[in-house]
Structure 1
């Protein structure tokens, strides 16, 4: 299941992994901050029709997080742990509380492309192909695409 768009989303045929890639008009420092500052993160994460509220956010190696996204009165809770937080890479777990056994191990890389551009690469490893395919069927690509579009706009607007 490959999707070609501004955000490339790929399912690895050999491993239960989803990889995403997107280039941003922003520095690695700006993207890193947008992923570690809870107020900024809440502004861009997820589909446009949803709002996000941070319950807990400790973006450091060994820290944890929990937030809720809401649409039309329905809440979707997520939580995880930050295993490694550094300016060029983050490693964290990600759990949708509606499927508490479906834990993903996510790694994000912030690659400086020069000229104020950064490539964000992410990899999500789950425990089975069935779990990976369920994530893909969940509509996650809408949340990723719309969230990253909001992030791009936020970074451009905040830099102006």
Structure 2
């Protein structure tokens, strides 16, 4: 089973998360840009995700609302700067903390043999913002969804081969 790697060096305002998937890059790209697919994996276990807006093109905007079992809502939004099968660049703003924008670069590397490495490079406005996210349990919030993404990709591959 593939492991998710999370690197957060002390004193830096960035986090780098990577994971290899047993799926071709075009399928991983689709899962990262298709609202119907994003809603199936883009949250920790037990949280539902509603994609209210996902205009995955340069200058396009997105907004996602997550709800936990108690009905609490957590909303995020951002703007896409670059969207290609090799790289997705956007901003992320947690609406509970307006003004604290994170710059995200997702690189999708074709490893050959139907495998893809996804590297998510998050740059926060300050070390304090980054550390606050880590202390809030972000590691589980990032690694859990990538495990769910791996399962979704396997399901999509199986459905495609059954056709």
Which residue, out of 149, 152, 155, partners 1:154? Answer: 152
Per the alignment, residue 26 of structure 1 pairs with 23
TM-score (norm 2): 0.92
Per the alignment, residue 8 of structure 1 pairs with 5
- Gapped regions of structure 2 (runs ≥ 5): 159-163
Measured after TM superposition, the shift of residue 60 of structure 1 is 0.6
Q: Distance in 1 between matches of 2:75 and 2:129?
A: 18
Q: Distance in 1 between matches of 2:123 and 2:143?
A: 19
Measured after TM superposition, the shift of residue 129 of structure 1 is 0.6
Measured after TM superposition, the shift of residue 159 of structure 1 is 1.1
Which residue, out of 14, 36, 47, partners 1:39? Answer: 36
- Gapped regions of structure 1 (runs ≥ 5): none
Per the alignment, residue 145 of structure 1 pairs with 143
Which 4+ residue blocks in structure 1 deviate beyond 6 angstroms? none
TM-score (norm 1): 0.94
Which residue, out of 47, 53, 56, partners 1:50? Answer: 47
Per the alignment, residue 106 of structure 1 pairs with 104
